Chains A and B, each alone.
Chain A
Amino acid sequence: MAVITYREALNAALAEEMERDPDVFLMGEEVGVYNGAYKVSKGLLDRFGEMRVVDTPITELGFAGLGVGAAMTGIRPVIEFMTWNFAILAFDQIFNSAAKLRSMSAGQFKMPITFRGPTGAALQLAAQHSQSLESQVAHYPGIKVVVPGTPADAKGLLKASIRDDDPVAFFEGEMLYNLKGEVPDDDDLVIPLGVADLKREGGDVSIITHGKMVHTALQAAAQLEKDGIQADVLDLRTLRPLDTDAILATVAKTNRVVLVEEGWPYGGITATVAALIQEEAFDHLDAPVLRLTQADVPMPYAKGLERAVKPTAELLIEKVNRVLYR
């Protein structure tokens, strides 16, 4: 078991899949000569050449659509967005083409494409560069949505996403690239999509989350343990398909739930999971399901304001205490 960063794990996944399948290519802004804006593609141009590691103009709609057209006729693109914030320009191609072509053609075309890039707020990047857009993308049937929180998950889920015959939107935590973690020494580490992972076991309360917030949840759980409270931390890992069995199992076990996401509450992932729980597990609940999200505002720049808007471990502990009626 090697200890590597989340960035290195993603790089290894890309390199291994490109080695394995000559139809896999990486395309995006600064992915080649510059080695990637976040260095995820470091060394890949030298290794695979310029037909397979392709620097694009700044033209998100255009190269996202290029990927979709290439995928529908049989090759396997990995399209990197410098950040998902810029992918908003490409949403027509992701939502209207990638997510729908299989359905509109009654299954005549497969769509083996992975769109990937960093998501979520970093530090003081202000409103247009600090967004968690996975809930918006997950709104569309026809696309799969993956949000890894650890280096091992990043590697195994990216490999699974690239091999998948459906379009996958892969959201990397912008603040996680330097995070270190154990990753199995296995060049065939593939983690299936649609399977959540219980990152911590405890019987008193369930914290259900994904992505960067997994670490906020683990931090809160460690603090709660000092007060004698044991929390389940369920990492969804994939938002579509959603591992509803794992969600309902932890709810049945603890009967108390706090849902956490980095993005906005309105129409968010937590709203969807809360609806599922009240529809399918109402009788298991001993308290209302609570949610912790970013405040429902565009992200402000000033340090203090930004801190006040983001979800934190302290706020999460408060919510947990409320569902425990403490």
Chain B
Amino acid sequence: MQYLVSVIDDKSNPGSTDRRPAISAFNERLIAEGYWVFAGGLADTDAATVIDNRGEQAVFSDGPFVESKEYLAGVWVWEAPDLDVALKLAAEASKVCDRKIEVRPFQ
């Protein structure tokens, strides 16, 4: 079962910025234990562009699709046998990243 693991940061109360080495070590472990599928940190939400081509012509707009204090700072995709395993890893990930984590199953 694959889970999307989102790292959630808060603009009004951001997590610490020195987490990179700890996250790298955690990633190594995820790979070694066979949970790792994909990981990526995201640029600031200001760098986002939203495209809507459902009408006659494509409309490009600057910025994220939703303005909020909380935003997606990065994602993982994990392969885990069940939610208990994923939640346990996510609890560690939250410590490692110093941020909130959302775990959501793929369909």
Do A and B bind? no
Contact surface of A with B, Cβ cutoff 8 Å: none
- B interface, CB within 8 angstroms of A: none
